[in-house]
Amino acid sequence: MKAAVLYEPGKPLVVEDIKIAPPKAGEVRVKVAANGCCHSDLHVMTGDMRMPLPIVLGHEGAGIVTEVGPGVASVKEGDHVVLSFSPVCGYCYYCTEGNPHLCETRPKKMGTLLDGTTRLAKNGTEIFHFAFTASFAEETVVPESCAIKIREDMPLDRACFVGCGTMTGVGAALNTAKVQPGTTVAVIGCGGVGLNVIQGAAVAGARQIIAIDLLPKKLDLAKTFGATHFVNPSQDDAFKAVMELTGGRGVDYAFEVISTAKTIELAFKMTARRGTCTIVGVSPESARITLNPNIFTMMEKRLIGSFYGSTRPRIDMPRLVDMYMEKKIKIDELVSRTCTLDDVNEAYDLLKQGEVARSVVKFF
Ligand code: COD
Ligand code: ZN
């Protein structure tokens, strides 16, 4: 089957034929229909996020189950699925208390399936799986808990975004920060994920949603996703602008959706007393933030992180699919471009240049 393989950071992905082995016990083989071009894969391509190589990237996928391994009970051949990049065991402390995105039994070693081996190879050399999904490929094998069954009338080239950008963003607003009606929100970084934080805040009933991005194009899109005010830090001081817009108080909820120390510090600074600042981006390992600890005490500000929108995949993902089908959330507007796997490097060049919110690679 055809897949996009990263051999070396800084080099383009190689689109080539590789071998895929059948699913083992507890695994599911999926014919990938579509996969979105998220910035996190780009972090691996640039070397900011280290992964074993060679590796098949892609973690924003959806497709159709073609085969299940022994013991698989939740899906069967023919089922439509969103690919979740966070396997859950269902019995550890965090799975049981309702936070399966923090499952304790996930392997520490990256790039393999749960048994520590891979199903991908070329000429006898093993190829790793990015994020358990490896969905920049015509087919993939994933742990059962990463294949989330969805309704069949959901277009798969839209469902794929529920596997990352939509879930990560909407979930950060609704599940992690728990944005309340009538409140004020600022979102720094209005890319594929940030736009979804904005629409999550809008769904929650926030009164004022301030979008902050360097690119006018992204600020235009932010309006479509529900932002009420717009700040471009290349023209205006973002902190001052937010303070002015909020009567000098700051926002009840700030979100950092870029992944730099500077923008995290900025988000925290613009958070109001008793407000919540949520970090969505994962910065390079070497990054450090500097904060005055007294702000926590004197102002009761909170600083929290959000991983994968604090998702409970089997509850939240079909729910987001329903919300899209009922026109309560937008996905179409996120997709700037549809392409084939052969164009995947070009899709990432456009993301780097800020030309697109999301491209989607469509396989069928
Ligand atoms: N000020 C304002 N805006 C900026 C600045 C700045 N200094 N720098 C960049 N931006 C804007 C860009 O113009 C762009 O619009 C946006 O920030 C970033 O958007 P994208 O589309 O490039 O990135 P996303 O939305 O696909 O991804 C953002 C993440 C923060 C999720 C990503 O970078 C990340 O940290 N991924 C790892 C976290 C993770 O694993 N998440 C789950 C899987 S995605
Ligand atoms: Zn992603």
Helix (H, G, I), strand (E, B) or coil at 274: strand
The question of whether 39 is a catalytic residue gets the answer no
The question of whether 286 is a catalytic residue gets the answer no
Nearest by Cα to 62 from 36, 38, 26: 36
Residue 109 has pLDDT above 90, yes or no: no
Residue 284 has pLDDT above 90, yes or no: no
pLDDT band at 285 (very low <50, low <70, confident <90, very high): confident
**Stretch among 42-51, 53-62, 164-173 having the lowest mean pLDDT:** 42-51
CA distance 9 to 273: 42
* CB 188 less than 6 A from any atom of ligand 1: yes
pLDDT band at 108 (very low <50, low <70, confident <90, very high): confident
97 Cβ partners below 8 Å, 6+ apart?
none
pLDDT band at 287 (very low <50, low <70, confident <90, very high): very high
Nearest protein Cα to ligand 1, atom 26: 39
Among 35, 37, 40, 224, which is best to mutate for testing ligand 1, by the most ligand atoms less than 8 A from CB?
40
Please answer whether residues 229 and 209 qualify as being in contact, where contact means their C-beta atoms are separated by less than 8 angstroms: yes
Please answer whether residues 80 and 154 qualify as being in contact, where contact means their C-beta atoms are separated by less than 8 angstroms: yes
The question of whether 38 is a catalytic residue gets the answer yes
Torsion of CA 328, 329, 332, 335, to 10 degrees: 180
Ligand at minimal distance from the CA of 61 is 2
Question: CA-based angle 301:178:213, to the nearest 5?
Answer: 75
**Ligand 1 atom at minimal distance to the Cα of residue 280:** 30
Q: How far does the centroid of ligand 2 lie from the alpha carbon of residue 193, in Å?
A: 8
CA distance 83 to 140: 10
Nearest by Cα to 60 from 153, 174, 148: 148
Q: Write the burial class of residue 286 (CB in 10 Å: 0-12 exposed, 13-18 middle, 19+ buried).
A: exposed
Domains of the chain: 2-163+330-362 (3.90.180.10), 166-307 (3.40.50.720)
Q: How far does the centroid of ligand 1 lie from the alpha carbon of residue 259, in Å?
A: 6
Q: pLDDT tens digit string along 331-362?
A: 999 998 999 999 999 999 999 998 888 999 99
Q: Across the beta sheet with 2-6, what order do the strands follow?
A: 14-17, 2-6, 55-56, 125-129, 120-122, 19-20
44 secondary structure, DSSP code: H
Q: How far does the centroid of ligand 2 lie from the alpha carbon of residue 40, in Å?
A: 5
Average confidence (pLDDT) over 279-299: 94
CA distance 98 to 90: 9
- CA 354, chain centre distance (Å): 17
Residue 214 has pLDDT above 90, yes or no: yes
22 secondary structure, DSSP code: P
Average confidence (pLDDT) over 196-219: 98
**Ligand 1 atom at minimal distance to the Cα of residue 195:** 25
Which of 40, 84, 259, 359 is an active site residue?
40
- Say whether pTM exceeds 0.85: yes
pLDDT, residue 52, reads 97
pLDDT, residue 72, reads 98
Residue 225 has pLDDT above 90, yes or no: yes
pLDDT band at 107 (very low <50, low <70, confident <90, very high): confident
Please answer whether residues 161 and 336 qualify as being in contact, where contact means their C-beta atoms are separated by less than 8 angstroms: no
Please answer whether residues 336 and 357 qualify as being in contact, where contact means their C-beta atoms are separated by less than 8 angstroms: yes
pLDDT, residue 62, reads 98
* CB 222 less than 6 A from any atom of ligand 1: no
* CB 189 less than 6 A from any atom of ligand 1: yes
- DSSP for 199-256 reads HHHHHHT-SEEEEE-S-HHHHHHHHHTT--EEE-TTTS-HHHHHHHHTTTS-EEEEEE
* CB 84 less than 6 A from any atom of ligand 1: no
Q: Write the burial class of residue 362 (CB in 10 Å: 0-12 exposed, 13-18 middle, 19+ buried).
A: middle
Residue 364 has pLDDT above 90, yes or no: yes
pLDDT band at 110 (very low <50, low <70, confident <90, very high): confident
Please report, rounded to a whole number, the percentage of residues in the chain having pLDDT higher than 70. 100
Please answer whether residues 192 and 39 qualify as being in contact, where contact means their C-beta atoms are separated by less than 8 angstroms: yes
153 Cβ partners below 8 Å, 6+ apart?
325
The question of whether 43 is a catalytic residue gets the answer yes
The question of whether 40 is a catalytic residue gets the answer yes
